[in-house]
């Protein structure tokens, strides 16, 4: 019998004795030896005992308990559990479509129930600047009125942001804020045209604009609402760029208790390569000087980044299929972070991009990452075999990404997040080898069992093919 546990624990032993009633009191014992996030959970003869070395461990034991608590009694089991990776994340893009604090809270609750511990907020993009800063209130004021397709916009006040950070912390999640640069910066040009280059309009951008609609071609000083990427850029020589970056990155660093600050660095297709390197080097240096660890998308691996900078890989889950044993350029750039003493967060786009369509005829989602992405495919990969030559110690963790070009409402978020986020959670937490339950066959059964729990929690998940949803 397989319990509906996701992510699957390090070890699960069935006990001979009776279990416990679903509402049995829980005894919590704090003791050494379970690691920063691990725990032991023993259910036996009417008693439930959690042992852990930290509040996070107790919290994760309670998530496991919640998954075990069906309509009947709790089974008699002895569970030992600790995560494989330290960084287990979910990214939410609040720039393409703004999502209010209540949706962010729901995402935190849902992610934490699967033992994720990082919420990466993509706060800025061509479409909007979603955080009102004291140093630069004009950014949110001028560039948060709309979303993709001309949908309503919005932004967070500093109090909202602090609330999100605290709400996440109470659920053992760290917020990683991202200000994306030097591309994805069109929104900044609404109040600071002097910092931006003229939009670079390629045939590709014309094509996307015509195919997907949602607005016209990018125009400096006009809010952007269509779907193209890669046309905007800071000007490396703009007077005031360094001061601007120091003020903006300094303020978000001061507001953020967590150790990381993400500066983007993706898809700067219209930026001269030398200028690109200078700008990501400047931004990461400013972050390091503010005593935060910089995080960038893997493209920035070409630059001379501060030691310890974390790279976020968003290539495909098997780059070796295209690039041979060493993988292609994406893999090479990802490895460069490890060579500098940093680590890598894996977000293979053809597996854990939650904005890819589930099926070819899905209402929501994109398909560029070899989509549609089935639940089976989102599960079928292992962190150790994504970037060839990247040692297990160099992998900081796994992050599922929800870009929101097509994702507008809380129900949309649920439908795209579930069940595929469960695949990412298991890749991030569970051991690769050793457990016979780390298979698609086991996962599809366990996820089916969780469907009831999700429904009871009001989560409108997608009924993915390949799972016998009850
Ligand atoms: C690529 S992956 C992007 C985003 C888009 C996303 C849509 C990455 C770092 N950048 O700008 O929103 O594709 O799937």
Above 80 in pLDDT, residue 460?
A: yes
Tens of pLDDT, residue by residue over 331-383, are: 999 999 999 999 999 999 999 999 999 999 999 999 999 999 999 999 999 99
Above 90 in pLDDT, residue 470?
A: no
Ligand 1: nearest atom to the Cα of 356: 14
Pocket test for ligand 1, best of 298, 403, 405, 420 (most atoms within 8 A of CB): 403
Tell me the sheet residues that pair with 356.
366
- Return the CATH number of 87-440, one of 1.20.1250.20, 1.10.760.10, 3.40.50.2300, 3.20.20.80: 3.20.20.80
**Which residue's CA lies nearest to atom 2 of ligand 1?**
314
Above 70 in pLDDT, residue 277?
A: yes
C-alpha triplet 402, 403, 409: angle, nearest 5°: 80
CA distance 292 to 288: 5
Mean pLDDT computed over every residue of the chain: 97
Pocket of ligand 1 contains residue 229 by CB under 6 Å = yes
Q: Ligand 1 centroid vs 42 CA: distance in angstroms?
A: 43
**Which residue's CA lies nearest to atom 13 of ligand 1?**
403
**Which residue's CA lies nearest to atom 7 of ligand 1?**
403
Tens of pLDDT, residue by residue over 305-319, are: 999 999 999 999 999
Residue 200, phi then psi, degrees to nearest 5: -95, 110
H/E segment holding residue 79: strand 77-81
Residue 401, phi then psi, degrees to nearest 5: -115, 130
With beta carbons less than 8 A apart as the criterion, state whether 19 and 49 touch: no
Catalytic amino acids? Answer: 267
Pocket of ligand 1 contains residue 297 by CB under 6 Å = yes
Q: What are 43's two structure tokens?
A: 């259910």
CA distance 40 to 78: 7
The alpha-helical segments, DSSP class H, found in 188-272 are 203-212, 241-255
Above 90 in pLDDT, residue 323?
A: no
What ipTM was predicted for this assembly? 0.95
Residue 259, phi then psi, degrees to nearest 5: -80, -10
CA distance 47 to 18: 10
Pocket test for ligand 1, best of 92, 93, 121, 229 (most atoms within 8 A of CB): 229
What is the structure's pLDDT at 320? 87
> Exposed, middle or buried by CB within 10 Å (0-12, 13-18, 19+), for 272?
middle
Pocket of ligand 1 contains residue 353 by CB under 6 Å = yes
Write the class of the CATH domain 11-81. Answer: alpha beta
Q: Ligand 1 centroid vs 153 CA: distance in angstroms?
A: 19
Pocket of ligand 1 contains residue 370 by CB under 6 Å = no
What is the structure's pLDDT at 1? 60
Above 90 in pLDDT, residue 72?
A: no
C-alpha triplet 300, 222, 157: angle, nearest 5°: 70
Q: Measuring CA to CA, how many Å separate 323 from each of 309, 312, 373, 381, 388?
A: 25, 19, 22, 17, 10
Tens of pLDDT, residue by residue over 179-205, are: 999 999 999 999 999 999 999 999 999
Residue 312, phi then psi, degrees to nearest 5: -110, 115
Beta strands at 39-44 and 47-52: parallel, antiparallel or unpaired = antiparallel
Whether 87-440 and 11-81 are alike in CATH topology: the answer is no
Q: How many CB atoms lie within 10 A of CB 232?
A: 31
- Ranges of each domain in the chain: 11-81, 87-440
Ligand 1: nearest atom to the Cα of 264: 9
Pocket of ligand 1 contains residue 266 by CB under 6 Å = yes
Pocket of ligand 1 contains residue 399 by CB under 6 Å = no
Q: Ligand 1 centroid vs 444 CA: distance in angstroms?
A: 28
Mean pLDDT, rounded, for 81-96 = 98
Rg (CA), the chain: 22
Ligand 1: nearest atom to the Cα of 229: 11
What is the structure's pLDDT at 450? 96
Q: Ligand 1 centroid vs 403 CA: distance in angstroms?
A: 7
Tens of pLDDT, residue by residue over 147-177, are: 999 999 999 999 999 999 999 999 999 999 9
Ligand 1: nearest atom to the Cα of 93: 12
């Amino acid at each position: 019998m397989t319990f509906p546990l996701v992510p699957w624990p390090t070890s699960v032993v069935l006990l001979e004795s009776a279990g416990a009633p679903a509402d049995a009191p829980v005894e919590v014992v704090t003791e050494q030896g379970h690691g920063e996030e691990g725990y032991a959970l023993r259910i036996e003869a009417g008693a439930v005992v959690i042992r852990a070395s930290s509040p996070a461990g107790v919290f994760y034991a309670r998530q496991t308990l919640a998954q075990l608590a069906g309509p009947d009694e709790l089974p008699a089991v002895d569970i030992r559990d600790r995560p494989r990776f330290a960084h287990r994340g979910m990214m939410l893009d609040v720039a393409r479509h703004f999502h209010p604090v209540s949706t962010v809270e729901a995402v935190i609750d849902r992610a934490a129930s699967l033992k994720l511990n990082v919420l990466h907020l993509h706060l800025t993009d061509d479409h909007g600047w979603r955080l009102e800063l004291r140093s630069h209130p004009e950014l949110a004021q001028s560039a948060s009125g709309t979303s993709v397709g001309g949908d309503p916009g919005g932004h967070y006040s500093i109090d909202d942001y602090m609330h999100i950070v605290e709400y996440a912390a109470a659920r053992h999640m760290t917020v990683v804020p991202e200000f994306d640069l030097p591309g994805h910066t069109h929104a900044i040009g609404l109040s600071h045209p002097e910092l931006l280059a003229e939009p670079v309009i390629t045939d590709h951008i014309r094509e996307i604009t015509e195919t997907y609609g949602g607005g016209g071609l990018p125009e400096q000083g006009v809010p952007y609402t269509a779907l193209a990427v890669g046309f905007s850029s800071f000007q490396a020589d703009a007077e005031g760029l360094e001061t601007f970056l120091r003020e903006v990155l300094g303020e978000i660093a001061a507001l953020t208790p967590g150790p990381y600050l993400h500066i983007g660095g993706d898809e700067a297709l219209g930026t001269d390569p030398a200028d690109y390197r200078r700008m990501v080097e400047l931004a990461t240096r400013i972050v390091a000087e503010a005593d935060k660890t910089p995080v960038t998308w893997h493209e920035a691996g070409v630059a001379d980044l501060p030691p310890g900078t974390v790279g976020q890989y968003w290539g495909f889950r098997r780059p070796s299929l295209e690039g041979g044993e060493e993988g292609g350029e994406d893999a090479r750039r990802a490895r460069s972070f490890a060579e500098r003493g940093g680590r890598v967060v894996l977000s293979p786009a053809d597996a854990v991009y939650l904005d890819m369509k589930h099926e070819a005829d899905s209402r929501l989602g994109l398909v560029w990452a070899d989509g549609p992405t089935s639940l089976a495919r989102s599960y079928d990969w292992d962190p150790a075999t994504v970037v060839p030559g990247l040692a297990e110690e160099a992998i900081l963790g796994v992050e599922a990404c929800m870009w929101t070009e097509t994702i507008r409402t809380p129900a949309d978020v649920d439908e795209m997040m579930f069940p595929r986020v469960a695949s990412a959670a298991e890749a991030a937490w569970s051991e690769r080898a050793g457990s016979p339950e780390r298979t698609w066959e086991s996962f599809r059964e366990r996820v089916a069992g969780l469907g009831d729990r999700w429904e009871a929690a009001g989560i409108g998940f997608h009924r993915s093919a390949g799972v016998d949803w009850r």
